[in-house]
Amino acid sequence: MKLTNFVNGKWQQSDGAKFTAVINPATGEELARVQMSSTGDVDEAAAAAKAAQKLWAKVPAPKRASYLYEIGRIMKERKEQLAQVLTKEMGKVIEEGRGEVQEGIDMAFYMAGEGRRLFGETTPSELADKFAMSIRSPIGVVGLITPWNFPVAIATWKSFPAIVAGNTFIWKPATETPMMAYEMGRIFEEAGLPEGVANIVFGAGSEVGTAMIEHPDIKVISFTGSTETGRKVAEAGGRNLKKVSLEMGGKNAVIVMEDADLDLAVEGILWSAFGTAGQRCTACSRVIVHKDVKEELQNRLLEKMRGLTIGDGIDESIKIGPVINKKALEKIHGYIEIGKEEGASLLAGGEILTGGIYDKGNYYAPTLFTDVEASMRIAQEEIFGPVISIIEVDSFDAAIEVNNGVIYGLSSSIYTRDVNRAFAAQRDLDTGIVYINAGTTGAEIHLPFGGTKGTGNGHRDSGVAALDVFTEWKSVYVDFSGKLQRAQIDNEI
Ligand code: UN1
């Protein structure tokens, strides 16, 4: 299978295009080959998107939304097939593959509803017989750069609000997971989305991403990926006076207080730390535990970890799939070495799995470190793999301080039965998402998604907040007095 760009409603290959392999991380098998596009391909897509946007902006928003209803309907009909492709190219276990596709379906229907809202505001004018309102106006052509860990959901968080608001888009999916983008392109076609509204350009960030950020006709860049790359996107975007929305790393913690329901906490920790093999930006990678329950929590975690099945996630009995590629495997393992050198105690895991299927794919053993100091690198840096670091504290205040003592601020969680502490925590935890008595993952699409500090730059994906990224305010004054009325001069109040 050869994956080529989707531009102006057509699948096309540029002359002399190079291709690269798409590999199933569970088996090492080649699934497809994907085009590595050039700056010229981005130029072509931008021209198509620009022409299409002029017409698309004039389509009534409820009509634009009707395409989203159709896209959602097709995704729902094909949910199982999409989940299978997703699991094969990304590696997450099939149950989570289905969950991610569901997240995209939810986003389609939710944003379709926005077609009949897209609320603006009316405001009294300071002059008589004058009407004032602010409306959400589309921005133009937007560029979407998405990661491999949520190849469908994150793309829908960005593309659906973009189009319902009257923009057209160019989407650069991650090189590791282009098959889901191909599937979505087919769905856009089948839903009858007008040509040029949705464009997909495959390729490397260094070439395609850079070309998008530099392109004068692309007005917004919405990026999800590493903080390192995000910073470069922001710098280049700033130079080009673009609106840049960034969604980046996390170092999310679960806090377990001495009054917590420990069984519940153990389940929440395991699900949010080892789900998606720890490759979520919301993944739990630190457990901040009160000293009185540390031993007990550790023991229960260790016991439950023994029951985790690791393998090819296409098999329903598997709980933890592979990590995305060999480079990720090396990076995770590097952190284990660092943790040991720093003096943390390794209680479980800490190895690249070998033998049988493990030799073909990229499998890392679920890992538990304890006696971790909050300042250690394993407790500060994003590992993006199935690794938990346990940090002991002796008070609620210390737990909050440790939680907030990292450069990231995406998600956090606290287990406590004390309602006062729970409310204090939601106020004091410096993250964009806070969970009380639940793990750090599992954000729902109709709430804003994003984080503080090094996680973002003030914007949010998902929820109604996504419309703030893809619209700008237009203030409209209608003077029906029939005479010249001068604001600030003729109306002393
Ligand atoms: C991500 O890891 O980039 O909240 C997205 C969650 C999912 C989305 C994660 N709904 O864990």
| Rounded mean pLDDT, 461-469 | 97
Active-site choice (44, 247, 382, 392): 247
| Rounded mean pLDDT, 284-310 | 98
Asked if the interface predicted TM-score (ipTM) of this complex is over 0.95, the answer is yes
Ligand 1 centroid, distance to 150 Cα (angstroms):
7
Q: Does domain 2-248+456-476 have CATH number 3.40.605.10?
A: yes
Amino acid 491: pLDDT: 81
Amino acid 14: pLDDT: 86
Amino acid 16: pLDDT: 85
Q: Under a CB-based contact definition with an 8 Å cutoff, are residues 105 and 79 in contact?
A: yes
Ligand 1 centroid, distance to 270 Cα (angstroms):
15
| Rounded mean pLDDT, 457-485 | 97
Amino acid 493: pLDDT: 79
d(CA 206, CA 434): 34
Give the number of other Cβ atoms within 10 Å of residue 446's Cβ. Answer: 14
For the question of residue 247 being annotated catalytic, the response is: yes
Q: Which residues line ligand 1 (CB under 6 A)?
A: 103, 149-150, 154, 280-282, 441-443
Query: Which residue has the least CA distance to atom 6 on ligand 1?
Result: 442
Residue 173: pLDDT above 80? yes
| Rounded mean pLDDT, 302-330 | 98
Task: Give me the chain's average pLDDT, please.
Answer: 97
Amino acid 15: pLDDT: 83
pLDDT digits (tens, 9 = 90+) for 216-240: 999 999 999 999 999 999 999 999 9
| Rounded mean pLDDT, 20-39 | 98
Span 252-436 CATH architecture: 3-Layer(aba) Sandwich (3.40)
| Rounded mean pLDDT, 255-259 | 98
Amino acid 280: pLDDT: 98
Chain mean position to CA 62: 26
Ligand 1 centroid, distance to 443 Cα (angstroms):
6
Which residue ranges make up each domain of the chain? 2-248+456-476, 252-436
What contacts 399, CB < 8 A, 6 or more positions away? Answer: 255, 257, 288, 290, 393, 414
User: Residue 423's pLDDT band (boundaries 50, 70, 90)?
Assistant: very high
Residue 77: pLDDT above 90? yes
pLDDT digits (tens, 9 = 90+) for 160-171: 999 999 999 999
Tokens of 38: 């050039």
d(CA 37, CA 42): 8
Ligand 1 atom at minimum distance from 279 CA: 2
Ligand 1 pocket test, candidate residues 280, 412, 431, 462, most atoms within 8 A of CB:
280
User: Residue 11's pLDDT band (boundaries 50, 70, 90)?
Assistant: very high
Residue 492: pLDDT above 80? no
Ligand 1 pocket test, candidate residues 251, 254, 435, 441, most atoms within 8 A of CB:
441
Ligand 1 centroid, distance to 248 Cα (angstroms):
11
